[in-house]
Amino acid sequence: MTRAPAAGQIEPRAGQLMPQAEQFEPRAGRLRSRAGRLLWALPPVALLAVFFLHPLYLVVQQSFRPDTGGTSLRPYADVLASTAFREALWTTVWLAMASTAGCLVLGFVLALVIAFVPFPGAKTVARFVDVFLSFPSFLITLALLFVYGTVGMANGAWTDVTGAAEGPFRFLTTPWGVLLAEVTYFTPFVMRPLLAAFSQLDTAQLEAASSLGARAPRIVRQVILPEALPALAAGGSLVLVLCLNEFGIVLFTGAKGVTTLPMLVYSKAILESDYPGACVIAVVNVLISVGLYGLYRVVSRRAGA
Amino acid sequence: MLVHSRAGRRAVQVLFLVLFVPLFAVPLLVVLAASFATHWSGVLPSGPTVAHYRAAGRGEALQALTTSLVTALTASLVALTVGTWAALAAAALPRRWRRVLDALFVLPVAVPSVVVGLAVLVAFSQPPMLLNGTRWIVIAAHTVLVTAFAHQSVSAAVVRLDPAYEQAAASLGATPGQVLWRVRLPLLLPSLTAAAGLCFALSMGELSATMMLYPPDWTPLPVLIYAATDRGALFAGSALAVVLMTATLLVLLVVSRLRTKASYR
């Protein structure tokens, strides 16, 4: 039996490592029994169970319990048959896939320039990308409201120049606005692993290819891209999962026409108080996301990331 | 160097700026500019004012900022403790068990945060733990969400620890507790502070689970920003967003200073 050492048990002075021949116990910390080690892992797992796993189980349980009572597949039948759910599912999936594709292309191009065509300030840009990651996603939508909103910068410029009463940009409340926001917000998630991978790439390879007559597009295709594939796969699948789960961007867009699965969970539970329905959608959403995230873990482990 | 001709390099850099500036720099600048304005009907905002910041510094907004800070600090500290404990405990386990533990602890990353919110709401709206309507339900959800990230980054560092240090300490007679407190945790300090910064930033900006859970007397800043923009007060909302970004960055700066100190020790 071992217990977790509380901080107070170790006296500051006694903590000095005294080499005493009599007390020589090689690898004292390693000789614990297997049961002891498992017991050590128990407290955090218990906390996780109480605050996450059990609540998740309750969601699954509630999804089989319609408001009318009893246990049945009724909520599933109701939700899966509704057009609102099908539309939300389709919107979620295509938005996530399109955003991921956009992030991959944009992230690859930007990381390529930062790593291989360096310019003064490239380091600052790389650091800016890190800062960008620490901001919440809805800030992007808020900013886009000022840039492309009905009275924003782009429309303002248009009306100033042409004298028209209204500007042409009104895609913000459509799925395209969400797509633009998601590509903007999630591209740094692709750039970071790519920049890490590029920093390990031996530039001698590039010089060799170049001195043998390969031009830049060919070097990118045949030397850099193969090296970047694991990072692209890992970053891309992470972004795909994050896009499937994105809520803030869609909520801030405020478009009635754009409903994704997380948005539907929110509106069913909070606005309609239909908990069984919300739980059904939650279960579907979790299955999709966890399945994809499992894939991401396998891919990134294989890539050694 | 990929592009050798000067003209080619210039062209690539121009392409980079054309992509980078409108997509990443402009949004942040626009929010900053809007927070000082009252109108935006042309290319540039008009009606300069600091009234939004004055409003952000008192009453409801100030309370929301402290709410966010308290929530993020509590959630980060608990998440760091639990996540580090789990990472260290997992490292001592046989391979198969370690995998199970790691999978359990990263699960909250994959589960949509709205669903985490829903699950916490369903679980703690009924006895024996009736937390619904208190601040603790928000803090609990934030903790669950960020623990996964804390665990991930600490366990990545635990794997890279050189076992020679702890073996040396143990062979010199240090108890397991001393090895942990005087050898392993100090070696892990850089990644612990990095994880703390990550947890704090995530919790400060967390909106999805919070929207499902927040009681009226515990409204974090992101919820208030949403409420402001939802009723059309975009400029006041931007000022609140700038306050949120600044508070997050300040804490991250302090944390990163801690980190450089730790890594030079």
If we measure between CA atoms, which residue out of A66, A105, A290, A299 comes closest to residue A191? A105
Average pLDDT over residues A87-97: 91
Q: CB A254 to CB B225 under 8 A?
A: no
- Please give the tally of structural domains in chain B: 1
A220 with B120: Cβ contact below 8 A: no
Rounded Cα–Cα distance for residues A153 and B204 (Å): 29
The C-alpha angle B16, B21, B24, rounded to 5 degrees, equals: 110
Which one of A134, A159, A271 would you mutate to disrupt binding with B, by most B Cβ within 10 Å of its Cβ? A134
User: Would you call B122 and A279 a contact, using CB atoms and an 8 Å cutoff?
Assistant: yes
- In angstroms, the CA B42 to CA A161 distance is 10
Q: Could you say which of A38, A113, A282 has the minimum Cβ distance to residue B12?
A: A113
pLDDT value of position A7: 40
Q: Is B172 on the interface with A (CB under 8 A)?
A: yes
Domain positions in chain A are 74-302
In a domain, B249, yes or no: yes
pLDDT of residue A164 exceeding 80, the answer is no
Query: For the whole prediction, is pTM greater than 0.95?
Result: no
A41: nearest CA in chain B? B89
- The gap from C-alpha A25 to its chain's centroid, in whole angstroms, comes to 46
DSSP conformation letters of chain A: ---PPPGGGS-TTTTS----STT--TTGGG---HHHHHHHTHHHHHHHIIIIIHHHHHHHHHHT--TTSS--SHHHHHHHH-HHHHHHHHHHHHHHHHHHHHHHHHHHHHHHHHHHS--TTHHHHHHHHHHHHTS-THHHHHHHHHHHSTTSHHHHHHHHHH--SS-S---TTSHHHHHHHHHHHHHHHHHHHHHHHHHTS-HHHHHHHHHTT--HHHHIIIIIHHHHHHHHHHHHHHHHHHHHT--HHHHHHT-TT---HHHHHHIIIIIS--HHHHHHHHHHHHHHHHHHHHHHHHHHHHTT-
Q: How many CB atoms are closer than 10 A to CB A119?
A: 14
User: Per the domain annotation, does B184 fall within a domain?
Assistant: yes
Closest chain A residue to B151, measured at CA: A44
Nearest C-alpha neighbor of A172 from the set A141, A130, A195, A208:
A141
B34 is a domain residue: no
> How many Å lie between the alpha carbon of A117 and the closest alpha carbon of chain B?
6
In a domain, B21, yes or no: no
State the virtual CA torsion across B231, B233, B238, B240 in degrees, nearest 10.
Answer: -70
pLDDT at A13: 40
Within chain B, residue ranges assigned H as helices are 6-20, 26-34, 51-56, 59-91, 95-110, 113-123, 135-160, 163-171, 176-178, 185-205, 208-213, 221-230, 234-263
Q: What is the pLDDT of residue B224?
A: 92
Closest Cα in chain B, distance from residue A3 (Å) = 9
Share of chain A above pLDDT 90, in %: 23
Put simply, whether B11 touches A (Cβ < 8 Å) is: no
Crossing angle for the helix pair A74-81 and A83-116, nearest 10 degrees? 70
For residue B153, which of B83, B203, B254 has the smallest C-alpha distance?
Answer: B83
Please provide the average confidence, as pLDDT, over all residues in chain A: 81
For the ranges A118-122, A142-146, A182-186, the maximum mean pLDDT occurs at A182-186
Task: Write the CATH number of the domain with boundaries A74-302.
Answer: 1.10.3720.10
**Residue A220: what pLDDT?**
85
Q: Is B257 helix (H, G, I), strand (E, B) or coil?
A: helix
Whether residue A3 is predicted with pLDDT greater than 60 in this model: the reply is no
Indicate which CATH number applies to the domain containing B223: 1.10.3720.10
Instruction: Please report where in the chains the tokens 């009736």 appear, as a residue.
Output: B130
**d(C-alpha A149, C-alpha A168), whole Å:** 10
pLDDT tens-digit readout, A54-67: 999 999 988 888 87
Interface residue A63 vs chain B (CB under 8 A):
no
Q: Which tokens sit at A148?
A: 């492309």
Domain span at residue B142?
59-263
The interface predicted TM-score of the complex, written ipTM, equals 0.85
Q: How many CB atoms are located within 10 Å of the residue B196 CB? A: 23
Residue where the block lists tokens 């974090």: B220
- State the Cα–Cα distance between residues A292 and A104, nearest whole angstrom: 17
- Note whether B153 and A3 are within 8 A (CB): no
* Predicted confidence (pLDDT) at residue A47 exceeds the cutoff of 70: yes
Higher pLDDT, B112 or A122: B112
Contacts with B216 from chain A: Cβ below 8 Å:
none
Q: What tokens does A160 get?
A: 């100033």
> What's the burial of B128, exposed, middle or buried (CB within 10 Å: 0-12/13-18/19+)?
exposed
Any domain includes B7? no
Phi, psi (deg, nearest 5) at residue B39: -135, 150
Q: What is the pLDDT at residue A22?
A: 40
The rounded distance, in Å, linking the Cα atoms of A167 and B22 is 19
Which residues, 6+ apart, have CB-to-CB distance to B241 below 8 Å? A139, A142, B31, B35, B225
Instruction: Give pLDDT, residue A303.
Output: 63
Residue B152 has a pLDDT of 87
pLDDT for the residue A11: 39
Least confident of A11-20, A166-175, B33-42: A11-20
Which of B118, B144, B165, B179 to substitute to test the interface with A, most A CBs within 10 Å? B118
The low-confidence residues of chain B, meaning pLDDT below 70, are 1, 259-265
Identify the DSSP state of B42.
Answer: S
Residue B128: inside a domain: yes
Question: Which H/E stretch holds residue B162?
Answer: none
pLDDT top residue among A35 and B246: B246
Q: Does B164 lie at the interface with A, CB-CB under 8 angstroms? A: no
C-alpha A143/C-alpha A165 separation (Å) is 23
A166 compared with B142, residue with greater pLDDT: B142
Pairwise CA distance, residues B255 & B195, whole Å: 10
Model pLDDT, residue A108: 93
Mutate to test the interface with A, among B114, B124, B143 (most CBs of A within 10 A): B114
pLDDT over 90 percentage in chain B:
33
Q: Is B205 left (phi over 0), alpha (psi -120 to 50) or beta?
A: alpha
Please name the amino acid found at residue B196. A
d(CA B33, CA B28): 9
Distance (Å, rounded) from C-alpha B161 to C-alpha B156?
Answer: 9
Contact at 8 Å (CB) between A52 and B151? no
- How far apart are the C-alpha atoms of B64 and B217, rounded to whole Å? 9
> Which whole-number Å values give the CA distances from B155 to A302, B91, B147, B152, in the listed order?
18, 8, 12, 5
Asked, for residue B13, whether it belongs to a domain, the answer is: no
CB contact under 8 A, A15 and B171: no
Report d(CA A213, CA B215) in Å as an integer.
Answer: 66
